[in-house]
């Protein structure tokens, strides 16, 4: 009987893991970078790394369900004659008609309106579905200016000048030919079926001094009625926030790298920009340094999932949050009920992100007339409203436990961090210590 | 003139706004307050002195004569009015114009007619870089020359240049038509010279007529447009992106 040396267990590389190997093979076979939807999927420091302290002997709580905990917020009070008043500090982020189906846009409007909050157009203009079903609609002013027109600008409730988004700070939009239907092509003044590449810079202004003049023009066109937001990707949140304020913004929107996109290169999504958690304190600090905190409102988006995330963002000094990916999930995106069809597309429920291909089994990220019938705008809008209600109740539960009669009274002192990274980013102590990395010389 | 009064000496005299005496806000608000069918169809703006956003968002068919030079975005989003700038215009004149017309008697700075959806923009002098950038249906006629990167990502409409064009004309162009009478320093990605057929000569003659250009024949122009090779991504064209 021959003796065989015991073998070692086959060992895969941590550097060249299965996903990396599959991507190298895919690139070699196709010669094109991978394009997908959604935001960064890598593990990042996030709100999960923060905990609330709750009440104790030194702080007493409010009675749950009895004592009032205000959730309302006013956006745009700096300059606008008609600021937006929201019942909850959770808004629906900009997502385009074109990337989303008409019924999906209608459902977002219905859900937001039922919840007393706003929804937002996207890089494709304003549709009748969303205007008609959205009590408060934010109209995005994008580099492409697809569908931009005077009538829609004046019937918007606020205007959001989009400089960038978290999934791709410095990148332009992308909508591949499969989704450029007749209606989408007409709204964007493009030939049907082409691969649309939006500009990454605005065509008629560059830099903060120009932006100030552009904002003045938008205010003059709309008779100073509407709040003007400036949205930036999570690149340089301190300076971007300060420059947006200097340019005259009523509201600054900062979108971290977990914020979704309809279609962008995977390499861009995963490697450019900063995590949402890392963006908040610098943005708040900029407002505080300028004496504009709570005067210019701050909205943060990118990976907001539940009421705890909302409460944590507000405790760090944010005025409101925006949700995109989570809102789509509430409508029915990536629902396991379509698992067989996800499998046919080579994926699985929960991982489907080829939103640019227009074959979404859930009927949300598609322009296919048959697939989009799967979205019942009334029922999907109701689900979104339910979800927003739950998030709000969750945030209120936490706020009352911290003794706060308004979500906006939450403060950094209510938080600790579980990791050194999160403590440094959020500027709150590491749990069990009074150490805030980077503060007091340490 | 007191700050809150308007001079109106006779029924058919223009309504005069002196920006030395009144604010830009008062001017634009008065223009926006115009009701359909208003008989205040003639307006005159004095002393613009480089003001930004003069006569933006006007949506009634009135004539506005601006006596002097303007800053950024004059006539932005114009919808139906006929604006004449008796001077030069700063960046973004006629940006996102929907309809109507804007005539600049002098020169225009960058981004003239950017993203315009319709109407006619006439620059009687020269236009700087990025003229007609991202245009979406507007017609632009420039009597002089235009700068570099003009008609970048131009989607629809017509750009007519009686003089010369700078570098990278029509880069990443979609379906806009470009007519240049003089030389073109260089064409941008996916922009090529195209045959001038009878229909284009007729179209161009119509544009010249609308812009009040005389003594110039359409046959003196060359036509440029999209080669359409970048409409759908092909890795072998990656160097062009």
Q: What is the pLDDT of residue B12?
A: 58
DSSP A51-120: EE----SSS-PPPTTTS--B--EEE-TTT-SS-EEESSSEEEPB--BTTB-HHHHHHHHHHHHHHT--EE
Together in a domain, A73 and A195: yes
Q: Is the pLDDT of residue B9 over 70?
A: no
Of A95-104, B62-71, B131-140, the least confident: A95-104
Which of A92, A110, A128, A120 has the alpha carbon at shortest distance from A376? A110
Is A216's CB within 8 Å of B52's CB?
yes
Q: Is the pLDDT of residue B11 over 60?
A: no
Q: How close B2 gets to chain A, by Cα (Å)?
A: 23
Burial code of A112-139, b = ≥16 C-beta within 10 A, e = fewer?
Answer: bbbbbbbbbbbbbbbbebbbebbebbbb
Q: What mean pLDDT is predicted for residues A93-103?
A: 94
Hey, where are the domains in chain B? 15-33+40-225
Beta-strand relationship, A137-141 and A158-162: parallel
Together in a domain, A338 and A429: no
Together in a domain, A120 and A134: yes
Together in a domain, A381 and A236: yes
Q: What is the pLDDT of residue B212?
A: 95
What confidence tens digit (pLDDT) does each residue in A287-340 have? Answer: 999 999 999 999 999 999 999 999 999 999 999 999 999 999 999 999 999 999
**Residue A110 main-chain phi, psi, to 5 deg:** -65, -45
Does A26 map to a domain? no
The domain that holds A47 is classified in CATH as: 3.20.20.70
How far is it, in rounded angstroms, from Cα B102 to Cα B64?
Answer: 9
Does A23 map to a domain? no
One of 3.40.50.1980, 3.40.50.300, 3.40.190.10, 2.160.20.60 is the CATH number of B15-33+40-225, namely 2.160.20.60
The torsion region of residue B172 among left (phi > 0), alpha (psi -120 to 50) and beta comes to left
How far is it, in rounded angstroms, from Cα A40 to Cα A279?
Answer: 15
Tell me if chain A has a CB within 8 Å of the CB of B174: yes
Does A7 map to a domain? no
Q: Is B64 helix (H, G, I), strand (E, B) or coil?
A: strand
Q: What mean pLDDT is predicted for residues B206-231?
A: 96
Q: Which residues face B4 on adjacent strands?
A: none
Together in a domain, A293 and A331: yes
Together in a domain, A303 and A436: no
Domain that holds residue A177: 35-409
Higher pLDDT, B8 or B226: B226
Residue with tokens 């507000």: A314
Together in a domain, A234 and A99: yes
Does A281 map to a domain? yes
How far is it, in rounded angstroms, from Cα A420 to Cα A416?
Answer: 10
Which of A234, A233, A248, A228 has the alpha carbon at shortest distance from A290? A248
DSSP A186-218: HHHT--TT--EE--SS-TT--HHHHHHHHHHHH
How far is it, in rounded angstroms, from Cα A228 to Cα A75?
Answer: 9
What confidence tens digit (pLDDT) does each residue in A290-299 have? Answer: 999 999 999 9
Together in a domain, A402 and A416: no
Using a CB–CB cut-off of 8 Å, the residues of A that contact B are 30-32, 144-145, 148-150, 153-154, 176-177, 189-191, 193-195, 197, 199, 203-205, 210, 213-214, 216-217, 220-224
Together in a domain, A130 and A154: yes
What confidence tens digit (pLDDT) does each residue in B42-63 have? Answer: 999 999 999 999 999 999 999 9
How far out from the chain centre does Cα A163 lie? 14
How far out from the chain centre does Cα B2 lie? 34
Q: What is the pLDDT of residue B241?
A: 65
Q: For residue A388, what pLDDT band results from cuts at 50, 70 and 90?
A: very high
Structurally, how many domains does chain A consist of?
Answer: 2
Does A249 map to a domain? yes
Together in a domain, A309 and A426: no
pTM of the model: 0.95
Together in a domain, A306 and A419: no
What confidence tens digit (pLDDT) does each residue in B95-108 have? Answer: 999 999 999 999 99
Together in a domain, A399 and A337: yes
Which of A312, A253, A63, A204 has the alpha carbon at shortest distance from B130? A204
Q: Is the pLDDT of residue A172 over 90?
A: no
Question: Cα–Cα–Cα angle for A311, A38, B136, nearest 5°?
Answer: 110
Question: Cα–Cα–Cα angle for A193, A341, A383, nearest 5°?
Answer: 90
Residue from the list A189, A214, A220 with its beta carbon closest to the beta carbon of B28: A220
Of A250-254, A357-361, B8-12, B60-64, the least confident: B8-12
Residue from the list A32, A191, A224 with its beta carbon closest to the beta carbon of B175: A191
What confidence tens digit (pLDDT) does each residue in B157-204 have? Answer: 999 999 999 999 999 999 999 999 999 999 999 999 999 999 999 999
């Amino acid at each position: 009987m021959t003796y065989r040396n015991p073998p070692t267990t086959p060992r895969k590389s941590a550097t060249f893991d299965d996903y990396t190997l599959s991507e190298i093979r895919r690139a070699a076979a196709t010669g094109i970078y991978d394009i997908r939807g959604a935001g960064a999927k890598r593990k990042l420091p996030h709100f999960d790394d923060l905990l609330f302290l709750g009440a104790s002997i030194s702080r007493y709580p409010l009675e749950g369900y009895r004592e009032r905990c205000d959730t309302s917020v006013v956006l745009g009070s700096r300059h606008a004659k008609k600021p937006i008043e929201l019942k909850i500090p959770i808004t629906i982020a900009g997502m385009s008609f074109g990337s989303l189906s008409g019924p999906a846009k209608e459902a977002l409007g219905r859900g937001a309106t039922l919840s007393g909050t706003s929804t937002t157009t996207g890089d494709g203009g304003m549709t009748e579905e969303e205007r008609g079903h959205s009590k408060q609609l934010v109209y995005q002013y994008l580099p492409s200016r697809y569908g931009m027109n005077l009538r829609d600008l004046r019937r918007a409730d606020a205007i959001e000048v989009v400089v960038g988004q978290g999934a791709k700070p410095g990148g332009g939009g992308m909508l591949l030919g499969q989704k450029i239907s007749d209606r989408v092509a007409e709204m964007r003044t493009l030939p049907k079926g082409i691969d649309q590449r939006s500009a990454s810079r605005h065509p008629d202004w560059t830099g903060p001094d120009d932006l100030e003049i552009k904002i003045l023009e938008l205010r003059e066109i709309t008779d100073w009625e509407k709040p003007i937001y400036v949205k930036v990707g999570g690149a340089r949140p301190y300076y971007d926030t300060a420059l947006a304020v200097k340019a005259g913004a009523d509201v600054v929107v900062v979108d971290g790298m977990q914020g979704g996109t309809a279609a962008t290169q995977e390499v861009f999504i995963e490697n450019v920009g900063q995590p949402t958690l890392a963006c908040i304190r610098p943005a708040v600090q900029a407002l505080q340094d300028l004496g504009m905190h709570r005067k210019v409102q701050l909205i943060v988006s990118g990976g907001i999932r539940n009421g705890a995330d909302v409460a944590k963002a507000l405790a760090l000094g944010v005025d409101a949050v925006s949700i995109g990916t989570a809102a789509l999930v509430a409508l029915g995106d990536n629902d396991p009920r379509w698992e067989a069809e996800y499998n046919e597309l080579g994926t699985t429920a929960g991982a489907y992100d080829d939103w640019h291909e227009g074959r979404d089994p859930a009927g949300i990220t598609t322009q296919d007339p048959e697939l989009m019938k799967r979205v019942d705008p009334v029922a999907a809008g109701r689900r979104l409203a339910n979800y927003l209600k739950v998030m709000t109740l969750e945030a209120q539960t936490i706020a009352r436990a911290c003794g706060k009669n308004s979500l906006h009274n939450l403060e950094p002192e209510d938080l600790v961090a579980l990791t050194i990274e999160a403590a440094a980013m959020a500027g709150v102590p590491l749990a069990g210590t009074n150490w805030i990395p980077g503060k007091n010389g340490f | 003139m007191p700050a809150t009064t308007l001079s109106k000496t006779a029924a058919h005299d223009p309504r005069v706004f002196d920006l030395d005496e009144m604010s830009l806000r008062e001017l634009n608000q008065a223009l926006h307050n115009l009701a359909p069918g208003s008989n205040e169809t003639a307006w005159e703006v004095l002393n613009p002195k480089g003001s930004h956003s003069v006569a933006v968002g006007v949506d009634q068919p009135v004539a506005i004569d601006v006596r002097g030079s303007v800053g950024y975005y004059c006539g932005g989003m114009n919808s139906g009015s006929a604006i004449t700038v008796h001077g030069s215009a700063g960046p973004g004149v006629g940006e996102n114009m929907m309809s109507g017309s804007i005539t600049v008697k002098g020169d225009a700075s960058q981004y003239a007619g950017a993203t315009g959806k319709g109407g006619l923009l006439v620059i009687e002098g020269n236009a700087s870089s990025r003229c007609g950038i991202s245009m979406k249906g507007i017609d632009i006629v420039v009597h002089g020359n235009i700068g570099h990167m003009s008609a970048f990502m131009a989607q629809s409409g017509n750009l007519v240049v009686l003089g010369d064009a700078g570098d990278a004309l029509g880069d990443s162009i979609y379906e806009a038509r470009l007519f240049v009478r003089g030389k073109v320093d260089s064409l941008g990605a996916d922009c090529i010279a195209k045959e001038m057929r009878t229909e284009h000569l007729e179209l161009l003659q119509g544009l010249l007529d609308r812009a009040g250009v005389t003594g110039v024949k359409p046959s003196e122009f060359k036509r440029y447009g999209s080669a359409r090779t970048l409409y759908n991504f092909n890795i072998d064209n990656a160097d062009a992106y």
